[in-house]
Structure 1
Amino acid sequence: MSGKKGAQIGSGGKRRRALEGKGPTPPAEMRKGHVKQRAANAKARRATGKQAPRGRGGKSASELVVGRNPVYEALREGVPATTLYVQQFIDNDERVREALQLAGERGDIHLMEAPRPELDRMTNGLNHQGLVLQVPPYEYAHPEDLVAAAHDDGEDPLIVALDGVTDPRNLGAVVRSVSAFGGHGVVVPERRAAGMTAGAWKTSAGTAARTPVARATNLTRALEAYKKAGIAVVGLAADGEHEIGDLQALEGPVVIVVGSEGKGLSRLVGETCDFRVRIPMPGGAESLNAGVAAGVVLYEASRRRG
């Protein structure tokens, strides 16, 4: 007979230490990966104007801005950058001096001198004119983060989703409009869509630092998830059944879906929408680009919300 004591009856085969409790459940804001924690982090980033990894959204690829005028404009508009490469023995004209001054004032950009052959190799032979600016990968949010951040602020979500918009300048214009009218972010598909490139950053005029852009693996599924969360999905279409001035759904939680200027909404996305609305255009124009269309509807939503 052994003197060792086995597991007690009703313990499920567990010994005493395994049955001990682990303490109270921490608040949602402190649980790693929880929607509430991502919302709290997003709110903190907006308050500081910084970016940080945003859950499951993922990163884009880094890119290079080449040429004296493009580099200067990117630095002037506050496009995030890690390194400014300057060609050795470059002609020190006004644009070069201004670019170096802006980079120095930022304080977080490394200045690197490189021979022309090295810059040619980096840019695959593009006409870089002796200046190359490296832009870091953009940290995308997850579509759920936008809703959580809105609820954390005690507000109804106001989100714009882009379907088939491939021009980064249109994306930047939409980000700027979302910021101007109190929206909570922009959702873009992961494939066949514009991303947050340097061009998008420039067009956003710096508002991309405080307005998150989320990336969805499948836009239709992301919209369906929004609908299950009680958010109305409103698609813009030239042949929409409603006019924006008559749609009460803009007063509550809503996702505004904007298609491309040429093709409009894709079939699956259009079928997913709760409402299809049109913007009245008495002047006779056939369509508006994505940035302008989003701005018009966001203004109407903002006006209705007081």
Structure 2
Amino acid sequence: MVKDNKPMNNTENDFVFGMHTVTELLHGDRDVNKIFLQQDLNDRNASTIKKAARQRHVQISTVPKSKLDSLSNSGNHQGVVAAVAAYQYATVDDLFAAAEAKEEDPFFIVLDGIEDPHNLGSILRTADASGVHGIIIPERRQVGLTQTVAKTSTGAIEHVPVARVTNISRTIDELKERGVWVFGTDMSGDSLWQTDVTLPLAVVIGNEGKGVSPGVKKHLDGQWTIPMRGHVQSLNASVASALVMYEVYRKRMN
């Protein structure tokens, strides 16, 4: 459990508050981003919420009552507020089902630590346009499905399933076990233009500044690079993913 004094933009989350309501929420299926507990709250109900949150791997933050008053618009929060996803996440099985419904080989985008909501929104928009069957994101160190993402996606968020997973590396291994080839983008990889994309495929797009993390790279089948001839040998994450998605789309349509 951590103390949390950072401001939170209320337009990025939906908030649920009250002991009974939050307890029921944690025992349901809706995605929960974070639990805010009032400082020095140590009664039985608080212990129950802490236990349920930990079982679901939901971060718990201790905050002053004033922050809870702000998050709940001075509602009767009883010392607890939950930040929940504005949009429901899919499962990895849902992504496979989307490909199967179209009678196509799976094509997924895996995002490794994308932090800018505008990038995620743009990626969703291009994914919808290029026939991607779904996007996979990690629970931590990654922007989720917020209202800013939804607005930037111009509606694509309603059509492209997004699965949020606990561990990207483990998920990559599971994809490979199900017959999916997994590649990442990297400056030292093979040329994107010379790759075979006519197979079940997932492509990992890395963080805006750091790229694909070293731990994730160990689980890849290979790496692709986007040929460039300019002086700046890097691209914005949403631009890089768009080039990858349309190259796969172009080759699969030919």
SS of 1:215 mapped into structure 2: strand
Question: Match of 2:115?
Answer: 166
The amino acid of 2:182's aligned partner reads V
Letter in 2 for 1:246: Q
Runs (4+) off by over 4 Å: none
Do residues 59 (structure 1) and 31 (structure 2) align? yes
Q: SS of the residue aligned with 1:188?
A: strand
Cα pair distance change 1:190/1:57, threshold 3 Å: farther
The separation in 2 between residues aligned to 1:181 and 1:61, in whole angstroms, is 29
Mapped to 2, the partners of 1:291 and 1:123 lie a distance apart of: 34
The residue number in structure 2 matching 1:203 is 152
> TM-score scaled to structure 2, two decimals?
0.67
Amino-acid identity (%)? 40
Equivalent position of 1:15 in the other structure: none
Please give the alpha-carbon distance, in whole angstroms, between the structure 1 residues aligned to 2:158 and 2:177.
29
CA RMSD across the alignment: 2.4
Task: Write the distance in 1 (CA, Å) between the matches of 2:85 and 2:112.
Answer: 25
CA distance in 1, matches of 2:119, 2:125: 10
Q: Measure the CA separation in 2 of the matches of 1:185 and 1:219.
A: 15
Distance 2:29 2:162 in 1: 9
Tell whether the 8 Å contact from 2:94 to 2:161 is kept in structure 1 after alignment.
Answer: no
Q: Choose the corresponding residue for 2:216, options 261, 269, 274.
A: 269
TM-score by length of 1: 0.56
Larger radius of gyration: 1
Matching residue within 168, 176, 181 for 1:232: 181
Contact 1:57 1:216 in 2 (8 A): no
What's the counterpart of residue 194 of structure 1?
Answer: 143
Residue 220 of structure 1: CA displacement? 0.6
Whether 1:288 and 2:227 are equivalent positions in the alignment is no
Write out aligned runs for 1:30-179 (5 A): 58-61=30-33, 121-122=70-71, 137-179=86-128
SS in 1 for 2:171: helix
Q: How many residues align?
A: 184
Corresponding letter in the other structure for 1:140? Y
Sort the Cα spacing of 1:166 and 1:136 in 2 relative to 1 into closer, same or farther, 3 A: closer
Deviation per CA, 1:124-165: give whole Å up to 9, x if none. Answer: 8xxxxxxxxx99632111122201221132111111000011
Residue 247 (structure 1) aligned with residue 219 (structure 2) = no
